[in-house]
A = this chain, B = another copy of it.
Amino acid sequence: MKNEQPRRTTIHDVAKAAGVSIATVSKALNNNGRMQPETRDRIKRAAAELGFRPNALARGLLSKRSFTVGLLTNDTYGRFSLPMMAGVSEALVDHGVSVFLCATNDDPALTHLHIEALLDKQVDGIVFSATRLDRRPHMDLSSLPIPVVYVFAEGPPGSVVIIPDDYQGARIAVQHLIDKGRKRIAHITGPDDYRAVRVRAEAYRDLCGGDEPVLFGEWEESWGHQAVDLLWSRDQAPPDALFCGNDQIARGAIDALRDRNIAIPEDVSVVGFDNWEIVAEQTRPSLTTIDMGMKELGRQAGLAVLTLSKGQSMSGGTRKLPCSLVVRQSS
């Protein structure tokens, strides 16, 4: 693998080719200042012919804006962060801003290393994201000389935070079951030290009252399975609907229901959470679930850092983005 480095064409090359000074080239290409349209055209043509592209480093040195932002994430395996990151990237590329990916691996030293590298590179801002909403950075980012936006993560008071609206998401899930005529809706969910779990449970209770219990457990299929066994071994009438805290739990529950020869959705409707498509679509019957719109979260976070990095102010606080219901066959 050889590696040739032909000197890139600079503004000087364009100036020479067009027979003008570099200042004129600069103005022509940036549509600044006044000049004869003919000159401008000639310069632009010369630039195009030479394939001239302005050096962003030089530009940034002068303008104090690098048109880059950093994206910190601790999620190396998760299924949420990838669409989110894609959303950030997509939102910003249109504005000529590129995104530095920083995998922190939940390691404070590594995080520190990344942040220093980002600051050295003069990033215009930082997007911090985590694997769960109530996770805070291992480091105080609020004293950095650049704006920080938190997405799918907690931030210090007054900061810009963008998260899915878990309450509303749970609400439309339960409302959907109610609309289907279900009367005894149970809620099988994850560990109650997750804030999202508590918020969703609250929405559930607000709609269903306290008749059915909320079953807290693990984010695992086996817990869904187990919870169904629990519910169906009580003395009272079993539920006619299950609202599950995520798609894995829902899948475990569906398996357990099938073992008991309970028809879905005829006898029991099931709704999951996350719209983890690869699971939701393969479950039989395919799973009705809640989509948190991770890509849109990312996009908004991207636009937020962009705004802040331009020095424009924006109101801090937590912005909750609506979830949506994806109806499949399990309800």
Interface residues of A (CB under 8 A from B): 1-6, 8, 53-58, 60-61, 66-68, 70-71, 75-79, 81-83, 85-86, 89-90, 93-94, 96-103, 105, 110, 113-114, 116-122, 145, 147, 158-160, 220-222, 248, 277-278, 282, 284, 295, 308, 311-316
Contact = CB atoms under 8 A, between A and B. Distances in A.
Given A96-B117, A99-B101, 14 more contacts: A1-B313, A5-B311, A6-B145, A57-B61, A67-B121, A75-B82, A76-B82, A77-B79, A86-B105, A89-B101, A89-B103, A93-B110, A94-B113, A99-B102
A75 B56 CA distance: 27
A208 B84 CA distance: 44
A56 B103 contact: no
Q: Which 5 A-B pairs have the closest CB atoms?
A: A101-B101, A86-B103, A1-B316, A76-B86, A89-B103
Nearest to A310: B3
Nearest to A316: B1
A30 to B, nearest CB: 14
Given A66-B57, A282-B220, A90 B105 contact: yes
A121 B77 contact: no
Contact of A55 (B6, B122, B158): B122
Contacts of A114: 93, 98
A59 to B, nearest CB: 8
Contacts of A101: 71, 85, 89, 99-101
A97 B120 CA distance: 11
Contacts of A2: 313
B76 A93 contact: no
18 contacts: A1-B158, A1-B315, A2-B313, A3-B313, A54-B120, A55-B120, A56-B120, A56-B121, A61-B61, A68-B121, A77-B278, A81-B82, A89-B101, A94-B113, A97-B117, A98-B114, A99-B102, A248-B282
